[in-house]
């Protein structure tokens, strides 16, 4: 009887955990690009995608992915109008964020590996262009 009561008390404390991509690539003050080995992190909160962008080329330019506990807190509040859903994915919300430069933004989502670049971002376009270029090089080598 004691064990049954004890296990029932533990059930409410079970929290869903999901994985997020963790990675970054950026250039700052004209120095060489900083990259990390792509990985995954566990969270019961938000996955985040940050775009670093500024009209001043010496400031940080690039992007980062990871798990978040602070920047995304208000993203689920329907009264907070600065968070805008991404077209085609209403569970992925973004907002401008000056901490990441005057053209910087932060995007938040909840769910397994949901923090890919938003579909309209320059990072997505660059990634797709790079993939197409590599594919063309590989295919041209087969001749």
- Give per-residue pLDDT as tens, 64-120: 999 998 889 899 998 989 999 988 887 899 999 998 999 999 999 998 999 988 776
CB 124 within 8 A of CB 86: no
Contacts by 39-42 with C-beta closer than 8 Å and gap 24+?
A: 40/113, 41/66, 41/67, 42/17, 42/18, 42/67
Count of CA atoms in the C-beta half-sphere (13 A) of 120: 10
Q: Which structural domain range is residue 58 located in?
A: 15-115
Residue 22 lies in a domain: yes
CB 110 within 8 A of CB 75: no
Residue 130 lies in a domain: no
Residue 65 lies in a domain: yes
Residue 142 lies in a domain: no
Instruction: Please give the pLDDT value at position 141.
Output: 53
Structurally, how many domains does the chain consist of? 1
Residue 58 lies in a domain: yes
Residue 124 lies in a domain: no
Dihedral of CA atoms 122, 125, 131, 136 in degrees, nearest 10, equals -130
CB 104 within 8 A of CB 50: yes
Q: How would residue 19 be classed by pLDDT, with cut points 50, 70 and 90?
A: very high
Residue 139 lies in a domain: no
Residue 59 lies in a domain: yes
């Amino acid at each position: 009887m004691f064990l049954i009561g004890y296990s029932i008390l533990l059930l409410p404390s079970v929290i869903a955990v999901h994985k997020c991509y963790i990675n970054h690539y950026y250039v700052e003050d004209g120095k060489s690009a900083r990259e990390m080995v792509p990985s995954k992190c566990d969270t019961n909160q938000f996955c985040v995608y940050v775009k670093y962008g500024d009209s001043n080329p010496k400031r940080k330019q690039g992007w980062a992915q990871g798990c978040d506990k602070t920047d995304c807190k208000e993203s689920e509040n329907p009264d907070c109008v600065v968070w805008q859903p991404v077209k085609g994915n209403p569970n992925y919300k973004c907002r401008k964020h000056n901490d990441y430069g005057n053209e910087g933004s932060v995007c938040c989502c909840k769910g397994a590996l949901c923090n890919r670049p938003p579909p309209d971002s320059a990072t997505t376009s660059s990634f797709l262009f790079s993939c197409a270029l590599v594919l063309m090089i590989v295919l041209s080598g087969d001749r």
